[in-house]
Amino acid sequence: MSENRESIANRSWVSFSSPHLWAFCIATIALRLFVSNVGFFASPKHHDSLFWSAKQQGNILSICASLESVPGVVESDFITRDTSDRYEPGTNATLIKNATIFTGEISDGEKVVLTRSDILLDMGIVKAIGNLSLTYGDSNISVVYANGAWVTPGLIDLHSHLGVMSIPLTEGASDANSKKGPTVPWLRSIDALNTHDDGFKLAVAGGVTSVKVIPGNLNAIAGEAFMIKTRPTSKRSPSSMVIELPDLWNVTKQEGKYVPWRYLHQGCGEDLIVYNLTRMDTMWTLRSAYIEALQHKKVQDGYCADAQAGLWASLPTEFPRSVKWELLTEVLRGKVKVSVHCNEAVDIDSMIRLSNEFQFPISVFHQASEAWLVTNGVLNETWGGAPAVSLYATKHRSKRESFRGSEFAPRTLAEANISIAMQVRVSPAMSSRDLMFEAQQAYHFGLPAHLALASVTSVPAMIAGLSHRIGKLREGWDADVVMWDSHPLRVEATAAMVWIDGALQIPSPAYKPAMNIANPERRKMPTAPNWDKERLTASVWDGLPPLSNRKEDRKIVFYNVKEVWTRRSNGDIEEIFPSPTDPDMNGRGRVVVERGSLICVGGNDMCLVSEYDAVDYINLHGGSISPGLHAYGTSLGLEEIPSEPSTGSGHTIYNPFMDDIPQILHDVGGITRAADALTFGTRNAKVAYRSGVTAATSYLTGPQGAYPRVVLGLSTTFRTGSAHSMQYGAVIQDVTALHISIAMPTVGKDHVGVSDQVAALRRLLFGWESTDTETGLWFKRAAEGEVPLVINVNNADIMTTLLLLKGEVEDRIGSRMRMVFSGATEAHLLAPEISNSGVGIILNSLKPYPTTWDGRRILAGPPVTNDTTLSTLLKHGVTVGMGMKGPQMAQIMRFDLASIAFQALKSMDRLEVLALASRNLDILLGVREVNRDVVVYDGGSLFDLSSKAIAVISPQRQGVDMFGA
Ligand SMILES: *[C@@H]1O[C@H](CO)[C@@H](O)[C@H](O)[C@H]1NC(C)=O
Ligand SMILES: *[C@@H]1O[C@H](CO)[C@@H](O)[C@H](O)[C@H]1NC(C)=O
Ligand SMILES: *[C@@H]1O[C@H](CO)[C@@H](O)[C@H](O)[C@H]1NC(C)=O
Ligand SMILES: *[C@@H]1O[C@H](CO)[C@@H](O)[C@H](O)[C@H]1NC(C)=O
């Protein structure tokens, strides 16, 4: 900070802030006034101020006037334009006929949805909306028959690093998060915007047409953010992507035009640890920055007061400017939309005090995990009124400060009249493509449908001060439009067509949309379960409800059951109700459970129980009973908070290439067992259990943020609902599989080359390490096919190396290895070879993201490509399982499965979809004991998001766990 202060102190105009200099100036001004009445006389002290021309004075006065100007625009002025400033010449007009249009309006009930409506796009804007005649006088008009399909405004993602943290990630394009200091308001994300980021087209594929590019998350002030559109422009430049480029260099130019909003991003809390800043340090660094800006503002205001009073002779001819504090000064003038990235109540409160101390409004709190706990007047204390809140729906708890985040936050905030925007979680890498998925989850957990849709359209537009042109479908607004193949709040909804500035972006040439076969059922709004009790409990417990279950030993009769699926003794899933011979029984089944077993399954009039039994009768309202899901691939059950080693096992696994493995382990690979580090009853495990995920296989991954490990050790499989490992049935399998990772170097980390990693693997599989050690023993077992070898690998070339190595090992020792590739984003390139080699695949995402160079050749899936990695592998007969990207993802695992079940994969039946996250994982991971826990859903099947899990029936534990609120 001292450097900044010095550079400012060197300028003469800063001296206005010192009282004795003020006195001097006032005296001089008085003299000038006198002198100016008499005529021009040279003043020995102010040579330069003598020569003010009328033009110079005019310039200064217009600069001073511009300080007062209010950014943004009156809608009625703006929409009279007949061509968008963003119109790309050559773009045809488009008429969309017979659509169901969500307009983005939330105040006027009637206009929220227009049915059987048409919409005309031309010259980059929405020209007309309503019942339009086909005879629009332009021959170059493309007509799209929506046939009732849903159309929404283009989506807006306010929390994006697109272009500044370009994917695939490389050292050369890691431009976010300046390391030059915690407070760098003078930086601009536009200066680093890589137009070639692979993320742009995936964002568009998700219907995202505008994003705010934030320069970083890890600084107290990361710099200036910019609102851009996600389409490529004919100029191919970053500047041409910006929606309303502020004139950053010439204030006078803006005279007469409206002034665009500018954007500033602030952070706080734990992220600042990278700068060794405590919360108190962070607030001080922010305050000292604002103090600088305030001084600068006073200097400018004083200068202008003199200029406006005609006291020219006292003024230097240069208008006082500070390139460093210019943006913060604009914040103090109310010309900047400030977003603040703060999680906890303490951080939110500090920021609110800051806004009052320096009198600037905050437009939105990002990722404010605890905002929902302080709706009782706190947010309203912000200077200028309550900010909006931008959240992701689930996936909290990655940090201590987000531990009290809740799936009920969007609803709770909305009920307190706080505007809600949804955002995606940047890590684990989720792309803007998933933005609507966040809105779907928010809706599932209680946010009203129109607010859920507005949370990704009109609300973010309002937050960004751009609601005069984006976020709504209205005459005169930008022609950013998405047509969906389903109701947009259904998890399987895919953007079938996307226009930006009237230009068609999606479908891509490689994709053939199947609008005509879309089922009208899928256009209906899904229903959401009732979470009133859970929401209340979460709030009473400050975000940490006990989530305890009640073990029910009595006989239970579930009635109005839609379907019952269980697992056979060989692990296969079968439908036992409704029976194929009596399909009409759908929704009218009855299941009697005693000591954890289904003792009778039949129609509602069957399975009668003796009136002398103590019996609980539970109406499932068309619900279902189906096998529990299996979570794979994360540290679930090994820790409470990934970034806090003290909350779990600590993950001290070694990288034999880099670490000195402690002699006490006496093991060249440093292999350890995850089973030894299991921690039961973690919040993620409890939430998983209540979300239908009854078992998990986890392995140690090494400390968060450390260099990647090659040998990951031995995984374990356990019940998510157990209290400790000595409880009956808690540990399903002590040692499940051997896990390694083979990858190209990770950006920003020390690394080991691929050939080194493979050389070590070859050596170990060939048995050149003593079996007296864990490493020798378990690699021998892997080579002999006794234990599966699960390899985290994305790259197709590395996969081929591994397939060849597998053949070599098998030839040599006459075995059949059980090899599994996990992650495997490029597996579709090798589907036949993988199939021939008998290797299984565990995918961790349906919508892969080309995060790393070695996994960048993804098959994006609809609406970019018809095929997905999953469909390609299944077509070739590969056994595929579905894993997860983070321990919090278990809560939404069935959303993923539902989207597969309802999407293009017509070739898969629902039992096969369920098998992806149960039976197939058991097979691939070598889980010997079949997990026979079944989950009871009220209000629908596990694929219907109208349902919620209410109980787990456990034959092994001979009881039923009923979930309390
Ligand atoms: C515009 O419309 C004309 C006439 O329908 C068509 O020939 C042309 O290919 C269209 N151009 C584009 C860019 O779609
Ligand atoms: C408009 O769409 C609805 C819903 O699919 C359909 O029933 C109706 O026939 C369509 N109307 C026209 C004029 O195509
Ligand atoms: C700023 O813009 C005004 C109005 O367009 C123009 O007259 C002036 O020359 C510009 N100044 C600079 C330094 O570019
Ligand atoms: C933070 O402190 C640690 C330990 O004193 C030091 O190694 C590191 O360089 C510091 N980081 C920064 C950004 O100042």
The answer to whether the CB of 92 is under 6 A from ligand 1 is yes
Residue among 844, 841, 803, 843 at smallest CA distance from 820: 841
| Residue with CA nearest ligand 3 atom 3 | 253
The residue whose CB lies within 8 Å of the most ligand 3 atoms, and thus the one to mutate among 247, 249, 253, is 253
Q: From the alpha carbon of 274, which atom of ligand 4 is closest? A: 13
Above 70 in pLDDT, residue 353? yes
The residue whose CB lies within 8 Å of the most ligand 3 atoms, and thus the one to mutate among 250, 251, 321, is 250
The answer to whether the CB of 98 is under 6 A from ligand 2 is yes
- Distance CA(286)–CA(282), nearest Å, equals 6
Give the model's pLDDT for residue 404: 97
The fraction of the chain above a pLDDT of 70, given in percent, is 90
- Distance CA(599)–CA(607), nearest Å, equals 9
| Residue with CA nearest ligand 3 atom 7 | 253
| Residue with CA nearest ligand 1 atom 8 | 140
Residue 226 CA to its chain's centroid (Å): 19
925 close to 818: Cβ distance less than 8 angstroms: no
Tokens of 682: 């973690």
The residue whose CB lies within 8 Å of the most ligand 1 atoms, and thus the one to mutate among 95, 142, 231, is 142
The residue whose CB lies within 8 Å of the most ligand 1 atoms, and thus the one to mutate among 140, 141, 234, 499, is 140
Q: How confident is the model at residue 903 (pLDDT cuts 50, 70, 90)?
A: confident
What stretches of 175-322 adopt beta strand conformation (E)? 208-213, 221-229, 262-267
Q: Angle at Cα 806 formed by Cα 804 and Cα 811, nearest 5°?
A: 95
Ligand closest to Cα of 522 equals 2
**CA dist list (Å): 801 to 755, 832, 834:** 10, 15, 12
Tokens of 216: 């970083």
* Beta-carbon count within 10 A of 619 CB: 13
- Distance CA(119)–CA(153), nearest Å, equals 11
Above 70 in pLDDT, residue 914? yes
Give the model's pLDDT for residue 697: 97
177 close to 222: Cβ distance less than 8 angstroms: yes
Superfamily in which the 155-250+260-523 domain is placed by CATH: Metal-dependent hydrolases (3.20.20.140)
Ligand closest to Cα of 59 equals 3
693 close to 630: Cβ distance less than 8 angstroms: yes
* Beta-carbon count within 10 A of 84 CB: 20
- Phi, psi at residue 673, to the nearest 5°? -110, 130
Q: How far, in Å, from the CA of 146 to the mean position of ligand 2?
A: 8
Q: What residues does each domain of the chain span?
A: 2-42, 155-250+260-523, 546-627+932-965, 629-930
Q: From the alpha carbon of 179, which atom of ligand 4 is closest? A: 13
Q: Average pLDDT for residues 824-832, to the nearest whole number?
A: 98
Question: CB neighbours of 957 closer than 8 A, spacing ≥ 6?
Answer: 596, 728, 729
| Residue with CA nearest ligand 1 atom 6 | 140
Ligand closest to Cα of 502 equals 1
- Distance CA(769)–CA(763), nearest Å, equals 8
Q: Does domain 546-627+932-965 have CATH number 3.40.640.10?
A: no
Q: Mean pLDDT, the chain, as a whole number?
A: 89
- Phi, psi at residue 630, to the nearest 5°? -120, 120
**Torsion, Cα of 200, 205, 209, 214 (10° steps):** -40
pLDDT, tens digit, 9 for 90 and up, residues 831-861: 999 999 999 999 998 889 999 999 999 999 9
Cis link prior to 89 (omega < 30° from 0)? no
Q: How far, in Å, from the CA of 584 to the mean position of ligand 3?
A: 77
Ligand closest to Cα of 140 equals 1
- Distance CA(638)–CA(634), nearest Å, equals 9
Give the model's pLDDT for residue 249: 52
- Longest CA–CA separation in the chain, Å: 114
- Do 155-250+260-523 and 629-930 come out as alike in CATH topology? yes
| Residue with CA nearest ligand 2 atom 8 | 147
Ligand closest to Cα of 93 equals 1
Q: Average pLDDT for residues 430-458, to the nearest whole number?
A: 95
Q: From the alpha carbon of 255, which atom of ligand 3 is closest? A: 4
Q: Average pLDDT for residues 875-897, to the nearest whole number?
A: 95
Q: Can you give the pTM of this predicted structure?
A: 0.92
- Distance CA(906)–CA(908), nearest Å, equals 5
| Residue with CA nearest ligand 3 atom 12 | 250
**Dihedral sign computed on CA atoms, order 326, 332, 336, 340:** positive
**Torsion, Cα of 723, 725, 729, 735 (10° steps):** 140
**CA dist list (Å): 250 to 321, 323, 334:** 12, 13, 19
Above 50 in pLDDT, residue 22? no
**CATH number of the domain at 629-930, please?**
3.20.20.140
Tokens of 558: 């579930």
| Residue with CA nearest ligand 2 atom 6 | 147
Q: How confident is the model at residue 658 (pLDDT cuts 50, 70, 90)?
A: confident
Q: How far, in Å, from the CA of 773 to the mean position of ligand 4?
A: 38
Q: From the alpha carbon of 116, which atom of ligand 2 is closest? A: 1
Ligand 4 site residues (CB inside 6 A) read 275-276
Give the model's pLDDT for residue 133: 73
pLDDT, tens digit, 9 for 90 and up, residues 745-788: 988 887 889 999 999 999 999 999 999 999 999 999 999 999 99
- Distance CA(740)–CA(671), nearest Å, equals 10
Q: List alpha helices for 861-933, DSSP H.
A: 869-875, 893-902, 910-916, 919-925
- Distance CA(679)–CA(583), nearest Å, equals 44
634 close to 698: Cβ distance less than 8 angstroms: yes
The residue with greater pLDDT, 460 or 748, is 460
Residue among 778, 780, 882 at smallest CA distance from 840: 882
The answer to whether the CB of 143 is under 6 A from ligand 1 is no
830 close to 821: Cβ distance less than 8 angstroms: no
The residue whose CB lies within 8 Å of the most ligand 3 atoms, and thus the one to mutate among 55, 59, 249, 252, is 252
Above 80 in pLDDT, residue 39? no
Q: Average pLDDT for residues 137-157, to the nearest whole number?
A: 88
- Distance CA(911)–CA(928), nearest Å, equals 20
Above 90 in pLDDT, residue 20? no
Instruction: Name the DSSP letter for residue 17.
Output: G
36 close to 313: Cβ distance less than 8 angstroms: yes
